[in-house]
């Protein structure tokens, strides 16, 4: 792909060595050891990357220890060293973040905590009462433009520098600051009210004396908190107890990880078994929890009960945790708080909103600096031509103030009003209903985007799974042939239930043990009916889905699994699982006749079409992990005693596990091309001896302290051999409306799209294909999992050799690549037509956005719909939130909120493009308005012996900047070069904008030349034509100036709007009407004479006509791309 890029590891900063010297291990110490080996050849074995760090750490300290430090050393400069080291130490202590540590938490005893933990309060405010005014003023005056106006306005308090009236300088500046402060204050008050509402929520806390009500912000580590159904969990807790008989409950995590499905959480066995809630205080127990971490998908800890002999130890994992910001979906739960406030997983994964500044504002800021330089140079030239006589320094400053109109303060006012107008237009656009503009300062950013980073679930897809295909090897069933499967199930179940022999090995009513029914002779080919029955049964049994009966749970939560038919009313039942794929599969089995009616931690029940209940004991469950890519379950049929091991998973994981076949790989490829998510289903019958042997080894592996995960996986893998392949399923995740044409539109507009998702690699790849994020003829390079520098280097080399292919990479591999080869990886990834990052944490999403901003200097846009997308949305130059099923968190945190993904096309192509082009024209025109009057002032001063006297005073200057020219100039916000339909039809027009040609030093220079030409003509013309009195110069030049500005607006406009015409005539009328009252500046008897009229007309004609001719010739011989379309 980019063979020229050398793979040099990223060097870390030298600060880390300092950490070594101080004897502290940096958390990146391993990276730094490795980066010290940069000079080593990179194609070496993994052992070559190990490095003994002992000498690295001890050497500097050993040397330091040998130095003698006596009184002489202290007097001869040692005191300086001590003082500086004390200051450094103090600064380090002030800046240092508190180190996060593992902790031991005693149940219900916050006072036993060894350390002080943070307050459990939510705080999203940017300022407090003390920092508000300084903070807002800093945000305003850090821009050169505003700081410049402040200095000029302050200079008018000095009598010798005073030019004109104070109000001409302070009124516009005060207006801008007042509007900004009011806007910030309103936002700040809203944030404060939202925080107060969250922090004041009441919860029940268990104490020795019973329940007490406590505010969310007053909860401490060690408190035992009761959380009711549909209540938000206030802090990170360990799940001790639930009202559900099963000892498990569901929680909704959509605001934490963006997934809408419910998660099953299991209470600690020891506390769940206690007879009553009050017994939690009669036991002596504690929880050991690892230090707070970012990873929301993992947790390691232990629960220990001390007052029994022997002590009870239970290992705690992610399924025993209740993270803050999730919501209890079933039952009432009791948990012990382990992390609060800023140490909770949700806060650690949230980045704070930054003040976003548009690229156009930064470019205008640069241009104002250039204008200021020109202003200073012009002032110096004027003083130099005077010959530096008298108080020349004071004269220099007077000239600087005199030419201060080069940078007009109305630039800031006009642009801010323009931004508000664009926001109003976006909100009122009927083609994108429900769109909200939350940040009114950056609408132009929508027209400059190069990278679009999008979430998958709920943004590109609806997160609604539909079962589409069942393949049995010889026969395939689609949506139109499901009735055949249904008839097979209806026919086979009465046979199965009435005949106690034969049938499917795991599905029959056979009393013969399963291991005796496995014949050693040749296999009899099964009928299609029995194969369908086995496949459907396997799909109905192999999952983590739980049926929930809402109305019954509301009346009485203690449903017994043995209770009869009224439990199983179909209207009441909803399915919950950690994956919507599984729910789709179980819903499908229900539609064809096999219904999952009950499930708890140990049993599972199916209902057949004839109404009979089949009961199974759950012996073991092996949950899905991103490493194994499969899930398994071992069940015992209660009627026959048969033990069956069912497994389903991704084709890459299952291909080596199932018996040899010649169709699986081909059919998986076919389904993937249709955009379906595939799962391979298999089974294996186990004898009692086989199972007992497995169970002993499995339990032994689970108790081991070292390499527990590896040992457990090895034991499970011993079962996963020669499994019988039952079927292949295809499920479709429905895309949002018009996702494909929208993505194609964005691609044609030159926008590179990256999909960042927390979902599995296979699912992400599938959606990338079905949404046409990756086109059909494009190759996909799946970046292999890497865990070390050596592996990352080899994999990057392999990726570099690929050309024009999309990249798919997991979050873990991405982290390794960024640690060692950040620059190289980003450079390679940016050359890909599309990038898919799966298994991304919220923090990683934000990190990727920041990387693109740093390495490419292009504008980024992030779009998402869940709480897990907030960090990414806030980090991007432009954040767009979708109001979806995952709540409003993303939409509230975003700069723009839309209701559907397809609206982004119009938002960028029409509104983004128009906003940028209009602001560019408006900004340059306002500058032109300032430069033309400064040119006239320069000509006037040079003619009148370089006197630092203003040409126009008082109301003339105020009127020129406001009532005489403001409305026509501001009406440029209504201008458009092409119709919206044309902009959507030719997205290539958008591509031009990213180059920034509408506002560049080239276009700016053209406007400077126009201003110098027109200013010179107006002033010299007036001086040539004036008669005897000086007052006539003012009258002629000012009238010609106002007319020139109105004609220049007409020259700049590309599409006329009735309001523009109205503004032109209103301004002209206002000026003519005001001539009657401006006796102090104009001679009324002169301005009504014929010589005045022809002189003004002649000057105006000479200043504007050549520009009109040039514009006509340019459009004739070198038309811009948009004019070709509009014609």
Structure tokens at 768: 């990338």
Q: 917, exposed or middle or buried, with CB in 10 Å at 0-12, 13-18, 19+?
A: buried
Distance in angstroms (rounded) separating the CA atoms of residues 420 and 374: 31
Tell me the sheet residues that pair with 469.
730
Q: Is the pLDDT of residue 809 over 80?
A: yes
pLDDT at 688: 94
pLDDT at 739: 94
Distance in angstroms (rounded) separating the CA atoms of residues 500 and 529: 17
Distance in angstroms (rounded) separating the CA atoms of residues 619 and 171: 80
pLDDT at 562: 37
**Are the CB atoms for 478 and 469 separated by under 8 Å?**
yes
Helix residue ranges per DSSP H, 565-705? 580-592, 651-654, 664-673, 688-703
679 or 569, which is more confident? 679
Question: For residue 915, what pLDDT band results from cuts at 50, 70 and 90?
Answer: very high
Distance in angstroms (rounded) separating the CA atoms of residues 843 and 840: 8
pLDDT at 5: 44
Structure tokens at 532: 């369908």
Rounded to 10°, the helix 482-498/580-592 angle is 70
pLDDT digits (tens, 9 = 90+) for 813-832: 999 999 999 999 999 999 99
Range 721-746 average pLDDT: 92
pLDDT at 700: 85
pLDDT at 352: 67
pLDDT digits (tens, 9 = 90+) for 118-127: 999 888 788 8
Neighbours of 433 (CB within 10 A): 12
pLDDT digits (tens, 9 = 90+) for 607-623: 999 889 999 999 999 88
Structure tokens at 115: 């350390």
Phi, psi angle pair for 954, to nearest 5°: 50, -120
pLDDT digits (tens, 9 = 90+) for 319-341: 899 999 899 988 899 999 999 99
Neighbouring C-alpha atoms within 13 Å toward the C-beta of 474: 7
Distance in angstroms (rounded) separating the CA atoms of residues 856 and 450: 10
Q: 459, exposed or middle or buried, with CB in 10 Å at 0-12, 13-18, 19+?
A: buried
Place of tokens 């997205």: 987
Percent with pLDDT over 70 in the chain: 85
pLDDT at 140: 84
Question: For residue 749, what pLDDT band results from cuts at 50, 70 and 90?
Answer: very high
pLDDT digits (tens, 9 = 90+) for 1075-1114: 888 777 777 778 788 888 888 999 999 999 999 999 889 8
Please give the angle made by the CA atoms of 839, 841 and 846, to the nearest 5 degrees.
120
pLDDT at 187: 81
pLDDT at 88: 57
Question: For residue 52, what pLDDT band results from cuts at 50, 70 and 90?
Answer: very low
**Which of 734, 736, 774, 773 shows the shortest CA–CA distance to 479?**
734
Distance in angstroms (rounded) separating the CA atoms of residues 88 and 76: 21
Question: For residue 853, what pLDDT band results from cuts at 50, 70 and 90?
Answer: very high
pLDDT at 353: 67
pLDDT at 1075: 84
Question: For residue 46, what pLDDT band results from cuts at 50, 70 and 90?
Answer: very low
pLDDT at 239: 95
pLDDT digits (tens, 9 = 90+) for 980-1017: 999 999 999 998 888 888 888 999 999 999 999 999 99
Distance in angstroms (rounded) separating the CA atoms of residues 867 and 102: 27
pLDDT digits (tens, 9 = 90+) for 398-452: 888 888 888 887 888 889 889 999 999 999 999 999 999 988 889 999 999 999 9
Place of tokens 């190759």: 779
pLDDT digits (tens, 9 = 90+) for 660-673: 998 998 898 888 77
Place of tokens 């993937």: 672
- What is the pairing mode between strands 262-266 and 103-106? unpaired
Q: Is the pLDDT of residue 94 over 60?
A: no
Give residues with Cβ within 8 angstroms of 398, minimum separation 6: 160, 161, 163, 948
Rounded to 10°, the helix 1090-1117/1031-1052 angle is 30
Q: Is the pLDDT of residue 559 over 50?
A: no
Average pLDDT score, the chain:
82
Q: Is the pLDDT of residue 2 over 50?
A: no
Place of tokens 């205008």: 364
Distance in angstroms (rounded) separating the CA atoms of residues 489 and 774: 39
pLDDT at 56: 30
Range 88-114 average pLDDT: 73
pLDDT at 541: 95
Buried b (16+ CB within 10 A) or exposed e, 380-397: eebbeebeeeeeeeebbb
Give residues with Cβ within 8 angstroms of 158, minimum separation 6: none
Q: Is the pLDDT of residue 740 over 50?
A: yes
pTM over 0.75: no
Distance in angstroms (rounded) separating the CA atoms of residues 1015 and 1011: 6
Residues designated catalytic:
455
- What is the pairing mode between strands 603-607 and 613-622? antiparallel
Taking phi over 0 as left and psi of -120 to 50 as alpha, with beta for the rest, 607 belongs to beta
pLDDT digits (tens, 9 = 90+) for 943-974: 887 887 888 877 788 788 878 888 999 999 99
pLDDT digits (tens, 9 = 90+) for 268-294: 999 999 988 888 888 899 999 988 988
pLDDT digits (tens, 9 = 90+) for 754-789: 999 887 787 788 889 889 999 878 889 999 999 999
Distance in angstroms (rounded) separating the CA atoms of residues 111 and 118: 14
pLDDT at 51: 38
Neighbouring C-alpha atoms within 13 Å toward the C-beta of 210: 0
pLDDT digits (tens, 9 = 90+) for 833-847: 999 998 888 889 999
pLDDT at 97: 60
Distance in angstroms (rounded) separating the CA atoms of residues 20 and 871: 32
Distance in angstroms (rounded) separating the CA atoms of residues 99 and 235: 20
Helix residue ranges per DSSP H, 67-143? 71-73, 79-95, 132-141
Distance in angstroms (rounded) separating the CA atoms of residues 556 and 785: 48
Give residues with Cβ within 8 angstroms of 563, minimum separation 6: none
Distance in angstroms (rounded) separating the CA atoms of residues 792 and 805: 19
Helix residue ranges per DSSP H, 200-277? 254-257, 269-272
pLDDT at 689: 94
Range 80-90 average pLDDT: 58
Question: For residue 42, what pLDDT band results from cuts at 50, 70 and 90?
Answer: very low
**Which of 636, 844, 886 shows the shortest CA–CA distance to 757?**
844
Give every strand in the sheet of 333-339, ordered side by side.
210-215, 202-207, 224-227, 333-339, 236-242, 321-322
Neighbours of 765 (CB within 10 A): 22
Q: Which long-range contacts (CB under 8 A, 24 or more apart) does 476-481 make?
A: 476/667
Tell me the sheet residues that pair with 237.
322, 337
Q: Is the pLDDT of residue 68 over 80?
A: no
pLDDT at 887: 63
353 or 528, which is more confident? 528
**Are the CB atoms for 537 and 637 separated by under 8 Å?**
no
Distance in angstroms (rounded) separating the CA atoms of residues 105 and 302: 11
């Amino acid at each position: 792909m980019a063979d020229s890029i050398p793979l040099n590891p990223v060097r870390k900063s030298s600060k880390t060595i300092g950490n070594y010297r101080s004897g502290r291990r940096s958390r990146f110490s391993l990276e730094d050891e490795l980066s010290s080996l940069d000079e080593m050849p990179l194609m070496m074995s993994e052992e070559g990357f190990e490095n003994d760090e002992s000498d690295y750490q001890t050497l500097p300290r050993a040397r330091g220890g040998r130095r003698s430090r006596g009184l002489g050393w202290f007097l001869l400069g040692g005191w300086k060293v001590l003082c500086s080291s004390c200051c450094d130490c103090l600064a380090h202590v002030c800046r240092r973040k508190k180190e996060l540590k593992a902790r031991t938490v005693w149940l219900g005893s916050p006072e036993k905590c060894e350390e002080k933990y943070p307050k459990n309060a939510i705080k999203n405010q940017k300022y407090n009462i003390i920092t508000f005014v300084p903070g807002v003023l800093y945000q305003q005056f850090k821009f050169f433009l505003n700081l410049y106006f402040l200095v000029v306005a302050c200079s008018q308090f000095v009598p010798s520098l005073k030019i004109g009236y104070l109000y001409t300088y302070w009124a516009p500046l005060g207006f801008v600051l007042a509007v900004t402060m009011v806007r910030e204050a309103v936002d700040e008050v809203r944030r404060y009210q939202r925080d107060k509402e969250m922090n004041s929520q009441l919860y029940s806390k268990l104490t020795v004396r019973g329940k007490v009500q406590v505010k969310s912000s007053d909860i401490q580590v060690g408190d035992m908190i009761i959380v009711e159904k549909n209540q938000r969990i206030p802090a990170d807790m360990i799940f001790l107890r639930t009202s559900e008989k099963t000892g498990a409950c569901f929680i909704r995590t959509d605001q934490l990880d963006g997934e809408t499905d419910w998660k099953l959480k299991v209470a600690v066995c020891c506390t769940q078994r206690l007879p009553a809630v009050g017994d939690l205080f009669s036991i002596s127990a504690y929880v050991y929890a690892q230090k707070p971490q970012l990873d929301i998908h993992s947790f390691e800890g232990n629960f220990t009960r001390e007052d029994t002999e022997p002590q009870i130890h239970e290992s705690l994992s992610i399924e025993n945790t209740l993270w803050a910001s999730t919501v209890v979906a079933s039952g009432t739960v009791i948990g012990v708080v382990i992390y609060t406030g800023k140490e909770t997983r949700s806060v650690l994964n949230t980045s704070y909103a930054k003040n976003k500044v548009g690229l156009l504002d930064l470019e205008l800021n640069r241009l104002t600096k250039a204008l200021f330089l020109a202003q200073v140079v012009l002032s110096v030239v004027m003083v130099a031509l005077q010959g530096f006589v008298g108080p020349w320094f004071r004269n220099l400053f007077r000239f600087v103030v005199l030419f201060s109109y080069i940078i007009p303060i109305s630039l800031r006012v006009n642009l801010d009003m323009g931004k508000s107008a664009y926001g109003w237009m976006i909100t009122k656009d009927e083609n994108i209903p429900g769109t909200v503009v939350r940040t009114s300062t950056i609408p132009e950013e929508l027209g400059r985007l190069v990278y679009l980073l999008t979430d998958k679930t709920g943004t590109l897809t609806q997160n609604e799974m539909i079962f589409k295909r069942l393949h049995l090897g010889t026969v395939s069933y689609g949506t139109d042939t499901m009735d055949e499967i249904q008839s097979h199930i209806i026919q086979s179940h009465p046979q199965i239930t009435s005949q106690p022999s034969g049938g499917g090995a795991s599905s029959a009513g056979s009393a013969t043990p399963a291991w005796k029914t496995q014949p050693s002779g040749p296999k009899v080919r099964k009928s299609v009916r029995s194969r369908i029955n086995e496949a459907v049964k396997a799909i109905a049994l192999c999952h983590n889905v739980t049926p929930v009966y809402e109305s019954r749970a509301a009346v009485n939560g203690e449903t017994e699994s043995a209770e009869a038919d009224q439990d199983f009313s179909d209207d009441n039942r909803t399915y919950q699982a950690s994956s919507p794929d599984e729910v789709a599969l179980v819903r499908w089995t229900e539609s064809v006749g096999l219904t999952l009616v009950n499930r708890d931690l140990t049993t599972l029940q199916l209902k057949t079409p004839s109404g009979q209940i089949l009961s199974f004991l759950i012996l073991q469950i092996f949950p899905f992990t991103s490493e194994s890519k499969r899930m398994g379950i071992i069940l015992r049929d209660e009627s026959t005693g048969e033990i069956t091991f069912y497994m389903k998973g991704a084709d890459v994981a299952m291909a080596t596990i199932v018996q040899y076949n010649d169709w699986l790989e081909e059919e998986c490829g076919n389904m993937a091309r249709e955009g379906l998510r595939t799962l391979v289903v298999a089974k294996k019958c186990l004898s009692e001896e086989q199972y007992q042997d497995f169970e002993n080894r499995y339990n032994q592996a689970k108790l081991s302290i070292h390499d527990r995960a590896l040992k457990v996986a090895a034991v499970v893998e011993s079962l996963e051999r020669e499994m019988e392949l039952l079927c292949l399923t295809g499920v479709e995740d429905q895309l949002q409306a018009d996702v494909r044409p929208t993505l194609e539109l964005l691609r044609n507009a030159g926008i590179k799209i990256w999909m960042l998702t927390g979902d599995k690699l296979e699912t992400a790849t599938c959606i990338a294909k079905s949404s046409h994020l990756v086109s059909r003829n494009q190759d996909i390079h799946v970046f292999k999992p890497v865990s070390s520098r050596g592996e990352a280097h080899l994999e990057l080399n392999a990726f570099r050799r690929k050309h024009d292919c999309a990249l798919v990479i997991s979050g873990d591999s991405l982290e390794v690549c960024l640690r060692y080869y950040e620059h190289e990886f980003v450079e390679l990834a940016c050359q890909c037509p599309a990038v898919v990052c799966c298994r991304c944490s919220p923090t990683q999403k934000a990190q990727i956005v920041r990387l693109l901003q740093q390495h490419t200097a292009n504008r980024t846009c992030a779009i998402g719909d869940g709480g897990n997308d907030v960090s990414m949305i806030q980090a991007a130059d432009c954040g767009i939130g979708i109001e979806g099923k995952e709540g409003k968190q993303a939409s509230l945190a975003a700069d723009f909120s839309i209701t559907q993904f397809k609206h982004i096309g119009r938002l960028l192509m029409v509104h983004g493009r128009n906003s940028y082009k209009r602001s560019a024209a408006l900004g340059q025109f306002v500058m032109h308005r300032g430069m033309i009057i400064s040119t006239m002032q320069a000509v006037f001063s040079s003619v009148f012996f370089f006197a630092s006297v203003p040409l126009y005073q008082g109301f003339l200057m105020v009127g020129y900047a406001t009532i005489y020219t403001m409305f026509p100039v501001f009406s440029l916000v209504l201008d458009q070069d092409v119709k919206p339909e044309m902009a959507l039809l030719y997205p290539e027009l958008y591509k031009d904008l990213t180059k920034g040609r509408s506002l560049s030093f080239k276009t700016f220079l053209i406007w400077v030349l126009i201003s110098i030409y027109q200013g010179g003509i107006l002033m010299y013309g007036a001086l040539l034509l004036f008669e005897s009195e000086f007052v006539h110069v003012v009258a002629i030049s000012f009238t010609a100036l106002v007319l020139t500005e109105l004609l220049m607006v007409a020259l700049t406009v590309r599409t006329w709007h009735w309001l523009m015409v109205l503004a032109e005539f209103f301004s002209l009328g206002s000026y003519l009407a005001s001539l009657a009252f401006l006796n102090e500046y104009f001679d009324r008897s002169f301005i009504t004479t014929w010589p005045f009229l022809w002189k003004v007309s002649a000057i105006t004609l000479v200043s504007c006509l050549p520009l009109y001719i040039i514009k006509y010739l340019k459009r004739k011989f070198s038309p811009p791309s948009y004019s070709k379309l509009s014609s």
